[in-house]
Structures are given as C-alpha cells and as structure tokens.
Chain A
Amino acid sequence: MERQMVRPDPSGLPSVYERPGTLTDTPFHYCPGCGHGVVHRVLMEVVDELGIQEETVGVAPVGCSVFAYNYLDIDMQEAAHGRASAVATAVKRMLPGKYVFSYQGDGDLAAIGTAETIHTANRGENILVLFINNAIYGMTGGQMAPTTLLGMKTTTSPAGRTVETAGFPLKITEMLAMLPGVYYVSRNSVHTPGAVRHLKKAILKSFQYQKENRGTCFIEVVSNCPSGWKMTPLEANKWMEEHMFPLYPPGEIKVPK
C-alpha cells in the first residue's frame, strides 16, 4: 500500500517534496539545526510508505522529544522519564499485531532508563527503539549526559567531562548489540542527505524485522544540539563529525546473518 508522494498541486506544477501525510502540520518546537525534526520526518515517511498508520503505536520519552506526539499523526503514549521501552514492551505485548516503537534521547535511554533499555532488549521485545544521541540533556538546559564526550563542556561539567569525576562516555549501543535478543543495530546521523537516506533504510528494515517477530531493533541517531553545544547548526554538524563520530561511528553494528 504505497502512497504516492509526488502529486500535482493546484498551481499545475508538480510537487516534488512535501510533508508526509502522517506528520502533522504543526511547527516543530525544536531549535534551529536540531536533528529531531529530520528523524520525525523520516520515521513518518516510512509509516506513510508502508501504509501502517493504523498499525503503529509510538512511545515518547521525557526530554526534547517529549512532545513528539504533537507531530506524529499516530496513536502515542508519553512515558515517564526513562521508562519508554517498558511502556512500549507492554503496548506490544497487549497488541502484538501492531508496530511499536520508542523514541528516546541519551539521558532517557542510557542514564535513568538504562535498566529498562537493557532488559527490554534482553527479552528481545519485538519493538524498534530509536535512540537520539546528542551527548547532552537538551531540554533541561545542557547538562552532562551519559554519552557526553571526555573533555566536553556542559553546564554540569563546566571544565569538561573528566574520567575522575564522571567516568567514561557510555557506548550503550555496542553493549546492546552483544545481547542475543537484539536482532538489528544500526548507527546513523541526519546531517547529510546520504545519512538521512541510510536512516530511512534502517527504519524500513526494522519494521520489516518487527513484522517477522525477529526481536529488538535498535537504531541510534548520532545527532547535534546547537543550543546546548553553544554552536551554530553548521558548526554543530562539523563538531559532531569531528568529535562524536570517532567514538560513535555510524554504520551497521549488528545485521542479521
């Protein structure tokens, strides 16, 4: 049930790029240059193209994407901080025929919700966990996150993160990839057209796997936070490539054999 994306508009000129039908006509509250809007869009493009609006239930986290349900025109639940994958687990168990995803940031997924994240993956719940990693708490104003890089300045690591006081950046994606319940793990970004296309393919694949009851699919999007990082969007993307990618390299981390 593929939907036609390109259709003539009243001016007679063909529309070559438009909002997916399942993305609401609500202006994003995200800061200029933030990756969330692109991820929302790509996710809804996939929902549109698969024609699964009625079959999809999403779970939003606490964090910048706490209002994700304002933009995604699907049934959604807003979870307590860190608990999105537990909520998604139960939604899927009660509605096994639906596509279920959680959408979580680094603080939500890899700090306060670490236990739920790991155990959801370890049970191999048939859901997609979409993990947006920008190495900072955006919504609360730029505090240190579990994925904050060493030396990186945040409001709670004002002299830069040190191992002595805060330990190491948590590579939770690699940890999760080790679990047998996890079927597919992919790390992406949304700062170039090619990267966006790769993310879309990854999400498409994950929904296919979910349909086949393969286990947990985990997709990380290494993203930016121009406001929290105190950079322009362009500077932020450049910094992300130069500093985030060496520790969090994009690519397919666990693919089905």
Chain B
Amino acid sequence: MSDLRLMKGNEALAEAAIRAGCKGYFGYPITPQSEILEYLALEGRSRGMVVLQAESEVAAINMVYGGSGAGARVMTSSSSPGISLMQEGLSYIACAELPCLVVNVNRGGPGLGTIQPSQGDYFQSVKGGGHGDYRLLVLAPSSVQEMADFVFDAFDLADKYRTPVLMLADGALGQMMEKVAFREYNPADHVVAKPWATTGKPGTRERNIITSLHIEPEKMEQINLHLQEKYRLIAENETRCEHFHTEDAEYLIVAYGLAARIAKGAVEMARAAGIKAGLLRPVTLFPYPTAAIRRLADMVRGVLVVEMNAGQMVEDVRLAVEGRVQVRFYGRMGGVIPAPDEVLGALEEMVKEHAAQHEEVY
C-alpha cells in the first residue's frame, strides 16, 4: 500500500504531474488554482521540471503548444477567466494534434465573477470552446484522490490519441484537503514514441512541421475528418462513468464532479426516506456516457440533473434520454454550492409530481 498523504486538491494534482513525468509546466497565477504553480515552482523545479510563470494565459497555452510540439509531456492550469483566454491556443493544439494536459479549476462566472467553486464552464469544456470543430477529452474529478489519479490518466490518454486533455475541476476540489495515495507509476513505462515532434531534422527523415494551417479546403476537410474519426474512437474506448445505487433505482440523479459528491449524500438521504434513488456520475464529460444514461432512462420514473450552473450538462442528459422520462434540473450559480438537503428537496418534488401525474392517468 502506498503512503497516504493529506493534501489540497491543487497540490495533489501538482505532485501527480511530477510523478507522471511532466517535463514542462507553463502557467499564470489565478485563484483558486495558484497552488499548482506554487507547488511546482518549488517541488517541480527541484525534481527537474521546467516551470515557467508566463506573462499571460495566452502565452502559457502557446508555450504548451511549443513544448508539446518539441515532444515533451507538458501542461498548464488555470481557472475560468484564464481558460477563456486559452481557447484560441487550444483550438490550434487540437488541430495540430499536440498531446497535453490543461487543468481548469472552475470558478464562478461570467466575467470576473467570483473565486468560489462553479461548474459554469461545462459548455466551454465539452462543446469545443475555441473556434472550429474540435473536442477536448474532458475528465471530471470529484475528490482529491481523483485530482491526482486523473493526471496520470490524462497524460496517457493525451499521448495515446495525440490530443489535448482537459481536467475540469472546481474551486472546492482544488482547495479542499483530503487523504490521497499516489499510484505506482514509472513514466519510463508510459513513453509513447513521438516521431512527429520537432526535435531537429536528421538526414534520415523528412522535416517535421507542427501546424494547423491547411489552406486548401479539401485538405482541411481531410484534417477535420481525421479529427472526427479520432473523437469517435475516443468515444468508443474511453467513455467513463460511475454508478451509485443505480441497479434498482426508480429516480436517477445525473451529476458530475463536486455536484456528484453532494448528490451521493442526497441519494443516501432519499434511500433512508424510502425513495429508491440512484446516481450516475459522468467521469468523462467528453466523451459523454450517453448510452449508460439512455439505458437507465428506460428503467426509472424520472431524472434529476444537478449542476453548479444554470443548467448546461442537462442538455446532454436530455439528448441521451430522448424524452423517455421527464428530466428536471436543480442548480446553484455564481459560486454557491448546493447542500444535499436542497438536492433531496428537488428529488422529492420530482417524486411528488410523478405520483400526481400517475393519479391523473389512472
């Protein structure tokens, strides 16, 4: 058993990055994730990592482009406004197929907003965010343990598919302290050959060019088709979700990240009160566990989506449910975290409504 440590989510993530063999970190301070940069400035540098405090998030994401293009495992992290600044660069990175890890410790928006936790960046994370047809592979941790675990997965997935991977956390996951155990991971066992990297052209191969520019539309369409095929493969192989009491559930909650943790509490409270509730937690937000939700939608009487936003993922749940059952939404915004009893209240309302409709029919 590996040693247990008590760490902040941001620190656990940073420590995992070092252990995952990340060679370059490029970032700009922003609350609530600055501990990542701070931790790496001390620990990362002393353990051989290049840690560069960039002049802006714009520069940082373009450094990630350059460092990844040079063949290295690289990453950046930021919080919502900073991630917005990175969208152009992410689009370039996705098109040039550069593996990297981007971490968004989501805070409440829009605008400068608040430094408190939020899930308001769901659309930006899973629908592209920047210009053009591209996707990020999005992992949504819901504990400090997963803040560490998903870093290893993210780098491996990024290298496997030559694609940027986003970890979408939130301010609470970044700031809270929990026990964490770091997995056994030897970066040398996870090295993927990068014959495309710009490491200097020897006489034995053609020059390598990292670019997203293909001026002929027919060529650009081929690039797009290639990317879409990659996203299809990712959806086929990498979709992840967690089930919690779904096997006999009559009412299903769908929530991710911190909201899923709160929803777990609500599910337990509901079960204690005699409501057969279950939770499906999407772990990957792209690819989305559409099939799993659809299967459950055939079994349950209603679906409640809980998010820390105005209702973003609920659109994907409705697309999965396709009208099989009613889909309700409960959310708090602007950095407010819903309490389990609020979620339970929303669930009980759904149960009541279903009962009322049931009576009307018969």
B55 proximity list for chain A (CB < 8 A): 115-116, 118-119
Q: Give A102-119 as 1s and 0s: 1 = Cβ < 8 Å from B's Cβ atoms.
A: 000000000000011011
Cβ of A174 within 8 Å of any chain B Cβ, yes or no, is no
A25 proximity list for chain B (CB < 8 A): none
Identity of the chain B residue whose Cβ is nearest the Cβ of A119 in the assembled complex: B55
A69 proximity list for chain B (CB < 8 A): 207, 209, 211
A243-B22 Cα distance, complex, nearest whole Å: 50
Interface-located stretch among A9-17, A75-83, A230-238:
A75-83
The interface residues of chain A, by DSSP majority, are classed as helix
A42-B294 Cα distance, complex, nearest whole Å: 63
Given known pairs A74-B201, A77-B211, the reply for A116 and B66 (CB within 8 Å) is no
A86 proximity list for chain B (CB < 8 A): 54, 58-60, 62-63, 66
* Max chain B Cβ within 10 angstroms of own Cβ: one of A86, A87, A115: A86
A83-B89 Cα distance, complex, nearest whole Å: 9
Given known pairs A75-B200, A91-B198, A94-B72, the reply for A59 and B66 (CB within 8 Å) is yes
From A76, A79, A87, contact of B209 by CB (8 A): A76
Cβ of B273 within 8 Å of any chain A Cβ, yes or no, is no
Q: Taking the nearest CB of chain A, how far is it from the CB of B362, in angstroms?
A: 62
A59-B63 Cα distance, complex, nearest whole Å: 12
Q: Taking the nearest CB of chain B, how far is it from the CB of A46, in angstroms?
A: 16
From B24, B201, B211, B212, contact of A73 by CB (8 A): B201
B96 proximity list for chain A (CB < 8 A): 78
Cβ of B228 within 8 Å of any chain A Cβ, yes or no, is no
Cβ of A95 within 8 Å of any chain B Cβ, yes or no, is yes
B66/A89 in contact, CB under 8 A:
yes
A90/B74 in contact, CB under 8 A:
yes
B69/A116 in contact, CB under 8 A:
no
Identity of the chain A residue whose Cβ is nearest the Cβ of B70 in the assembled complex: A94
From A59, A72, A79, A94, contact of B50 by CB (8 A): A94
Q: Taking the nearest CB of chain A, how far is it from the CB of B91, in angstroms?
A: 9
A90-B67 Cα distance, complex, nearest whole Å: 5
* Max chain A Cβ within 10 angstroms of own Cβ: one of B55, B63, B67: B63
Contact count A vs B, C-beta below 8 Å: 127
A255-B59 Cα distance, complex, nearest whole Å: 28
A86-B71 Cα distance, complex, nearest whole Å: 16
Given known pairs A90-B65, A90-B67, the reply for A77 and B200 (CB within 8 Å) is no
B26/A90 in contact, CB under 8 A:
yes
B23/A78 in contact, CB under 8 A:
no
B69/A77 in contact, CB under 8 A:
yes
A119-B53 Cα distance, complex, nearest whole Å: 11
Cβ of B111 within 8 Å of any chain A Cβ, yes or no, is no
A73-B205 Cα distance, complex, nearest whole Å: 11
Given known pairs A75-B207, A94-B74, the reply for A87 and B62 (CB within 8 Å) is yes
B59 proximity list for chain A (CB < 8 A): 83, 86, 115-116, 119
B201/A75 in contact, CB under 8 A:
yes
Q: How many residues of B contact A (CB 8 A)?
A: 39
Cβ of B323 within 8 Å of any chain A Cβ, yes or no, is no
Interface-located stretch among A49-57, A157-165, A194-202:
A49-57
B70/A91 in contact, CB under 8 A:
yes
B24/A94 in contact, CB under 8 A:
yes
Query: 8 Å CB contacts to A: which residues of B41-60?
Result: 50, 52, 54-56, 58-60
A88-B52 Cα distance, complex, nearest whole Å: 13
* Max chain A Cβ within 10 angstroms of own Cβ: one of B50, B52, B71, B201: B201
Cβ of A7 within 8 Å of any chain B Cβ, yes or no, is no
From A54, A76, A89, A118, contact of B210 by CB (8 A): A76
Q: Give B317-335 as 1s and 0s: 1 = Cβ < 8 Å from A's Cβ atoms.
A: 0000000000000000000
Identity of the chain B residue whose Cβ is nearest the Cβ of A87 in the assembled complex: B66
A57/B199 in contact, CB under 8 A:
yes
B69/A87 in contact, CB under 8 A:
yes
Cβ of B213 within 8 Å of any chain A Cβ, yes or no, is yes
B74 proximity list for chain A (CB < 8 A): 90, 94
B256 proximity list for chain A (CB < 8 A): none
B64 proximity list for chain A (CB < 8 A): 90
B213/A94 in contact, CB under 8 A:
no
Q: Taking the nearest CB of chain B, how far is it from the CB of A172, in angstroms?
A: 16
Q: Give B199-234 as 1s and 0s: 1 = Cβ < 8 Å from A's Cβ atoms.
A: 111110001111111000000000000000000000
Q: Taking the nearest CB of chain A, how far is it from the CB of B313, in angstroms?
A: 30
A90-B26 Cα distance, complex, nearest whole Å: 9
From A57, A88, A93, A98, contact of B24 by CB (8 A): A93
The 9 closest A-B pairs by CB, nearest first: A90-B66, A87-B66, A75-B198, A78-B211, A83-B62, A90-B67, A90-B63, A119-B55, A94-B70
Between-chain CB contacts (< 8 Å), 28 pairs: A53-B200, A53-B203, A54-B200, A54-B201, A55-B200, A57-B70, A69-B207, A75-B207, A76-B208, A77-B66, A77-B210, A78-B209, A80-B62, A86-B59, A86-B62, A87-B66, A88-B66, A89-B63, A90-B62, A90-B64, A90-B67, A91-B66, A91-B70, A94-B23, A94-B50, A94-B70, A115-B55, A116-B59
Instruction: Beyond the given A75-B199, A116-B62, please list 8 additional residue pairs across the A-B interface where CB-CB is below 8 A.
Output: A57-B70, A69-B207, A77-B211, A78-B209, A86-B59, A93-B63, A94-B50, A94-B66
